Structure formats: C-alpha cells, structure tokens
Amino acid sequence: MTPPLRTHHLAKAVGVHVNTIRLYETEGFLPPIPRGDNGYREYSLRHLEQARLAYLTTRWPYVGDKTLLHDLVRYAAHDDLGMAMELAYKYLAHVRMERTFAEAAVEFLERWAAGHLLDSPRQQVHIGDAAQHLNVSIDMLRNWERNGLIDVPRDPANQYRLYSTAEFGRLRVIRTLVKSGYSLMAILRMLLQFDAGQTDNLRDALHLPPEDDQIQTIADRWLVSLIELEQRAQAIIRQIGHMIEMAHAQASTTLISNDPHSTRRHSGVSHRK
C-alpha cells in the first residue's frame, strides 16, 4: 500500500508553496482530506493530480470570468470529471474566440497601414460628434490622446479638437486593438513605429516589446499570450483526461478485489475434477 503523502510532498510535486496547497483545500479545490491518528493530513495520488489540475486552471493569467475555471476545479474535486471536462472545452473555445478577435484586429491594422482602409471623406467635427460616430465615450478619446496614441489638430479660433478622415481611420485601429485586448503601451509602441515611416512588421512591434522595456504586461504581447493560454487550456483537458483514466483504473481494481472468484482465477490453481 502506498504511504500517504504530506502537504510538502504535494507542494514540491506541483511546484507551489505549501500555503498554496492549504489554499486549495480552503477553496474546495481538493477532495476531502483524511487525517491520520496523529492529526496529519493524508493525501493520496488523487489529491496530487487534483492539485496539479488546480494549479493549471486557477493561476493567472486567464481569459474571461475566473468563476468558470473555479467551478471546473470544484467539479473535479467532487468526482464530476465529466462536467469538469465540459467546462474545460468551454474555456478552450473562449480562448480560441479571443485569439480570433486578436488576429483579426492585427489584420485590420495591417490593412490600414497599407492605405487600404479609409473613412468616407467628411468635414471636421468636434469631439462629441467623433465619439458618437465611433461609438466610444468622449473620455476614451481624451485618454487615447493623453497616452500619445493620436495627436488631434485644434481649431485655431477656439482650440477645440477637430476630427477628420485621417483621425477617424487611426481611431478605428486604436479602438479595434483596445477591444481585442491589446494594451495602450503595445498600441503606442506600434504607432510610434508607424509614424516613423516603418510600416513593415507592425505585427511584431505590437506583439514583441523591446528587451529594454522594464515594465511589461500580458496585454503588451496579447496574441502571444493567447497562444500560450490556448496551450494551457489544452493541458487542462489532458490533465482531466488523465484523471478520468485513473478513475477507471481504480474502479477496475476495486471490481476485481471485490470479486470472490478473482482469487481463484488468478491463483493458477485448477479446480477441474
């Protein structure tokens, strides 16, 4: 019989601190944990595999509402691996949808950079009309300008901002990239390259921050991050599949051990007269 595992065994195997394993227990991410006569927790291999699933599933970053991921782990902890697998595929679909949006936004950017995306010629309008036309808030337009994404010309008479065809095209690109999950820093880095006349490889400028950038976020390399998140979602599915195989193997072993005839069949003793 395999000796019970301790908290530090699980922590070392999963690659987390012992307090993280205790947090998993508190959050309901682990099955009920029996205790020995000495009061120590006694984990099994099932607890170990469940802890691995919790680590894969609940750590940051993730896409969307973390409630789905937490529910996934809790279903698995309560032996409902079928529902856990269903939620894992739902999450994978969500990640893939986000990746599709991010890739489409980059294609939109490249078409604009090549001069193939132009708004219909229009008269110059003030910020309220521009916000209404683009279906964004006035504060968003001001924020993008404050962050250096766009330089809007001013009316010499009253210093009001004036938006025309060129500004609308640029703002559409900004809006599309922001809604697709890219950070303002990543968009600024790309636009600075565009404004310098370097219109090739804007995709790389958007995704790969320079090595000397001291502060980087997940959204600074959003599409790359989504590819990594998709790989992790597939790893979650594989882990649940592994746990299902373990459950089947355990059930088969239990059936054999409970079969009164199994000893005779496997003992090699003949009972023929």
pLDDT confidence of residue 270: 44
pLDDT confidence of residue 123: 80
The 3-class secondary structure across 39-87, one letter per residue, is: CCECECHHHHHHHHHHHHHHCCCCCCCHHHHHHHHHHHHCCCHHHHHHH
* DSSP 3-state of 137: coil
- Write the pLDDT tens digit of every residue in 209-260: 655 555 566 778 888 899 999 999 999 999 999 999 999 998 877 666 666 6
- Write the pLDDT tens digit of every residue in 62-86: 998 899 999 999 999 999 999 999 9
Question: How far is it, in rounded angstroms, from Cα 74 to Cα 168?
Answer: 47
How would CATH label the architecture of 99-223? Orthogonal Bundle (1.10)
Instruction: List average pLDDT for each run of 10 residues in the chain, which is 273 residues long.
Output: 90 98 97 94 97 96 93 98 98 96 94 80 86 95 97 92 92 95 93 92 79 64 91 98 94 67 49 42
The reply to whether 99-223 shares the fold of 7-91+228-253 is yes
Assigned fold of 7-91+228-253? Multidrug-efflux Transporter Regulator; Chain: A; Domain 2 (1.10.1660)
Confirm whether pTM is higher than 0.85. no
List the structure tokens of 202. 């804007």
| Domain boundaries of the chain, sorted by first residue | 7-91+228-253, 99-223
pLDDT confidence of residue 261: 60
